[in-house]
Amino acid sequence: MKGIRAWSVAVSVLLLVTVALAGCRQAPRAGAPDVFVIANNIDPMWSWDPADSFGEEIPVLFEMYETLLRYHPLQDKLEPVLAEDWDVTPDGLTWTFRLRSGVKFHCGHAFDATQVKKSIDRTRERGMGAAFIWDAVERIDAPEPQTVVFHLSYPIPVDLTVASAYGAFMYCPKCLEEKGDDHYNNGNACGTGPYKLESWRRGDQVLLTRFDDYWRGWEDNHFDKILVKVVPETGTARQMLEAGEVDHVRLLPFEDIQVLKKNPRFNVAVSPSFQNVYILINSIREPLNDARVRQALSYSIPYADIIKYVMHDYATQSVGPVPAGMWGHDPGLKQYTYDLTRARELLAAAGYPNGGFSLVMTVASGDENHRKVAEMWKGELAKLGIALDIRTMPFDAQWDLAKSPDVKQRQDLYILYYWPDVTSPQAFLEGCFVTQDDYIIFNLSYYSNPLVDDLVYGAWQAAGTDRVRATELYRQAQAILLEDAPAIFVYDMQNVRVLNASVKGFKDNPAYPYVLFVYDLYREGKR
Amino acid sequence: MALPANRPRPAVLEQIRYSGYLITKNSLTTVGFGIVLVLLVIALLAPVFVPHPEHAVLGTTNVAEALRPPSGRYLFGTDELGRDLFSRVIYGTRISLQIGTLAVGLALLIGVPLGLVAGYLGGFVDEVIMRVTDIFLSFPPLLLAIAVAALLGRSLTNAMIAIAIAWWPWYTRLMRGTVISLREKPFVEAARMMGTPATRIMVRHVLVNSLSPVIVQASLDFGSVILTSAALSFLGLGAQPPQPEWGLILSTARNYFLVAPWYSFFPGMAMVITVLAFNLVGDGLREITDPKTRRL
């Protein structure tokens, strides 16, 4: 008996201690860091160097780095960030920006005009990622510590360019001078943004912590840290969200979102986006070099079914390459419909009345939406006698194949998400459809039409000073692209962001896809 | 079945009857053989009884009925594109058995002759062949298969080739061991004394008598090969959509695990049952062919 008693006492004490400890864990002590946790399906850090960035890393980079201005496309308004105000000469060739004073980099160096000049000059020299946005810049001057002057060789809207989601970050050039030019790409960061890098484990997590000297200052309700965890399985990510372990999941299947939407613990924010989906058609290969065949393909996509059943109505069918809501988009342009009869006529006219050829389509593995589109399309193409060979592969493999020096190796069809660097039609049209012989950016149709080139570059030159003329030139370029059909414009997406309901202050900005600007967020209540 | 050499050789019918007796003696083996038989029938007759062959063969989509739970209409429910999962899983049996047969067959085709030659000839040839197998065996088979599949390009055929490349050295080793022990047996020596050509001895006397451990191993490997090919497809290196390969179905289904649990369950179960059945068959065959464990 005695033995049993002693045991039960020991067990009770142990239980009590456990309960007490658990209690301690639940009530956070005052001042415990409030961490904003993001579940990301892949390691977002494709590139650490803000000069090279052209991928999925911007949600992390934008917490650490800032641009001179920030664009709010839905209001068509520019917000001063590192620049306070700016003006342009009437010829559109000289832009002067006045910089905010008292701004510091994470390393302690001061931010001034020289750093702006050095960052942009370095980005241009490296020529990686979105460096081409600066092509019109002839020279940058820093006449005073707080004044930067851009001299252009032809007019472009520099105000939009400096607000670009890619290629326009202000980073500390002194750090690179001191620690070597590949300092950033070795997994380091030094910007002026509200959060600085604390640690990074490749393929596992990125941890950012607040930068105490941030120029906007810190009030009480900002998050102290941002943790980006790599959670490849969407099922796991959803369970973590439901268990209150994460605040935001970057990508969830719409089937899960439909369930989460009904739960008041989560906030499903739906807003316009500038992200759209193209299927780029290899326009230099038989039989796809015939525009009629490409048009037939455009008529064979079951647009309505895709939007309803793949996108669960979180998308609309595209009208042309420029997404709805952006300037330069023209709802009056030609829109292809699902029309197999028309497709058959076009194929017959091109000499393929019963199809009789097969096409290779690459799809990034893990992308459910694209795979579903591909599989649905396969069924439609089969009705036209065209065999679709779907090949899923990791994005890098898909990308390398598309740029393979051996043209014969390349795919016939490439399904691509596209979103802008500089928020303008230029990003879409220059990125995907102007002639790119020596250096392919995203023109995976390998399309080349001097008429389109002239219109697109002409529009960009007009954009800084004459928006109406630019819009008209963009419209003409898009009309040609729709007729020539080097790509199928499938759908314009909406941004669907799932957040824990305790997170407040979130406003989606379609110019910066997936960027949350965590500094503006705060928490009310418990996760 | 391989019978001891001293037993009088029964007629074919007698042999089958005897094999049947050996198989049914152990109830687990019976179950294994039974399931394999059922799987073979299912695979052969799939087009006859499956309600939506087009969902499996062509991958025709039917999006309006996506992710329906199991019901009288869709026995196993539907997938995210509204395709009948029952039809797809049943057709998957065909693919899996094909993979098993072709991959193991190819591995045997490479492995067995090499093992035979190495074991019988010995010396330098043996050295070279065995060092090559050592190199192959120093990689974990799945890893080697992944590397080869990645190199060859993504398709089911390439996945099978990759698996065969990862698997053949095991058969070479096994074969060589058996052949070495047979090489010095009196009946082989007798054949050699009579001046029978070496190739004839190898095929007629040595090969035939050393096949049984290889057959046992091959039937055990059948299951592993199906699993490996599923793993390759899961990683995107094997079957390509819309092929109804179990591993590929599973890799898609995991995205809908919380919304549609049946979607992962049925292909998963199919795989478990198949692999289990082949393992039982393999174990049974081992017991039958090994005189130490055979109780008559």
Which amino acid type is present at position B174? L
Residues A408 and A456 in one domain: yes
> What single-letter amino acid sits at B145?
A
Residue A261 domain-assigned (yes or no): yes
| Interface of chain A toward chain B, CB-CB under 8 angstroms | 233-235, 238-239, 253, 255-256, 259, 305, 308-310, 365, 368, 371-372, 374-376, 378-379, 382, 389-394
- A504 in the same domain as A383: no
- Mean pLDDT, chain B cut into blocks of 10 residues (296 residues total): 55 80 85 95 93 91 92 94 96 94 96 95 94 94 92 91 95 94 90 90 89 90 92 88 92 90 95 95 86 61
Residue B154 is encoded by which pair of tokens?
Answer: 């993504």
Last residue within a domain, chosen from A117, A145, A175: A175
Residue A375, domain member (yes or no): yes
Q: What is the CATH number of the domain that holds A145?
A: 3.90.76.10
Q: What are phi and psi of A454, to 5 degrees?
A: -60, -45
Round to whole Å and give the CA distance between A498 and A219. Answer: 25
- Residues A82, A30 share a domain: no
CATH class of B26-57+70-289: mainly alpha
Strands (E), A380-519: 387-393, 413-418, 487-500, 503-504
> Which two structure tokens, joined as six digits, stand for A140?
């940058």
Tell me which residue range forms the domain holding A152.
Answer: 69-175
How distant, in Å, are the alpha carbons of A37, A222, A501, A502, A524 from that of A266? 14, 20, 5, 8, 13
**How confident is the model at residue B261, as a pLDDT?**
93
Residue A346 and residue A426 in one domain: yes
In a domain, A181, yes or no: no
- Do residues A284 and A446 lie in contact, with contact meaning Cβ atoms separated by under 8 Å? yes
A464 close to A157: Cβ distance less than 8 angstroms: yes
3-state secondary structure A258-290: HHHCCCCCEEEEEEEEEEEEEEEECCCCCCCCC
- Mark whether A450 and A507 lie in a shared domain: no
CB contact under 8 A, B241 and A235: no
Are A343 and A476 found together in one domain?
yes
What is the CATH classification number for the domain harbouring A411?
Answer: 3.10.105.10
- C-alpha–C-alpha distance, residues B56 and B43, integer Å: 13
Q: Can you name the residues that pair with A140 across neighbouring β-strands?
A: A150
pLDDT reported for residue A362: 95
pLDDT at B295: 55
pLDDT digits 0-9 by tens, A257-279:
999 999 999 999 999 899 999 99
Cα separation, A17 vs A22, whole angstroms = 8
- The amino acid sitting at B16 is I
- Using left for φ > 0, alpha for ψ between -120 and 50, and beta otherwise, residue A378 falls in alpha
Residues A120 and A262 in one domain: no
The closest CB to that of B236, out of A375, A376, A393, belongs to A393
Tally A–B CB contacts below 8 A: 67
CB of A107 within 8 A of CB of A174? yes
Which residues, including other chains, have CB under 8 Å from residue A189's CB and lie 6 or more apart? Answer: A48, A50, A61, A64, A65, A106, A171, A196, A197
Contacts of B257 in chain A (CB under 8 A): 235
- Domain identity same for A152 and A92: yes
Question: Considering only CA atoms, which of A424, A339, A444 is closest in space to residue A384?
Answer: A339
Under an 8 A CB cutoff, do B241 and A233 touch? Answer: no
Q: Are residues A97 and A131 in the same domain?
A: yes
What tens digit of pLDDT does each residue of A36-68 get?
A: 999 998 889 989 999 999 888 999 999 999 999
pTM of the model: 0.81
Count of Cβ atoms closer than 10 Å to residue A2 Cβ: 6
A489 and A503 in a single domain? The answer is: no
Residues A283 and A514: beta-carbon distance below 8 Å: no
- Taking an 8 Å cut-off on Cβ atoms, the answer to whether B242 and A392 are in contact is no
CA distance B95 to chain A (A): 18
Q: How far is A2 from chain B (nearest CA, A)?
A: 50
pLDDT per residue, tens digit, chain A (527 aa), is 444 555 555 555 544 444 444 444 344 445 678 999 999 988 899 899 999 998 889 999 999 999 999 999 888 899 999 999 999 999 999 999 999 999 999 999 999 999 999 999 999 999 998 898 999 999 999 999 999 999 999 999 999 999 999 999 999 999 999 999 999 999 999 999 999 999 999 999 999 999 999 999 998 789 999 999 999 888 899 999 999 999 999 988 898 999 999 999 999 999 989 999 999 999 999 999 999 999 999 999 999 999 999 999 999 999 999 999 899 999 999 999 999 999 999 999 999 999 999 999 999 887 889 999 999 999 999 999 999 999 988 888 899 999 998 899 999 999 999 988 888 999 999 999 999 887 788 999 999 999 999 999 999 989 888 899 999 999 999 999 999 999 999 999 999 999 999 999 999 999 998 999 999 999 998 88
Domain count, chain A: 3
Q: Flag if B254 and A235 touch (Cβ within 8 Å).
A: yes
Which H/E stretch holds residue B211?
helix B208-234
How many helices (H) and strands (E) chain B has is answered by: 12, 0
Q: Which residues of B touch A (CB under 8 A)?
A: 58-61, 63-64, 66-67, 80-82, 154, 236, 240-242, 252, 254-260
From B154's Cα to the closest Cα of chain A, the distance in A is 7
Cβ–Cβ of B241/A374 closer than 8 Å? Answer: yes
Shortest alpha-carbon distance between residue A392 and chain B (Å):
6
Asked whether residue A6 is assigned to any structural domain, the reply reads: no
Are residues A352 and A225 both part of a single domain? no
Pick from A235, A368, A375: CB nearest B258:
A235
Element (H, E) at A38: strand A35-40
In a domain, A219, yes or no: yes
Q: How many other β-carbons are positioned within 10 Å of the β-carbon of residue B247? A: 27
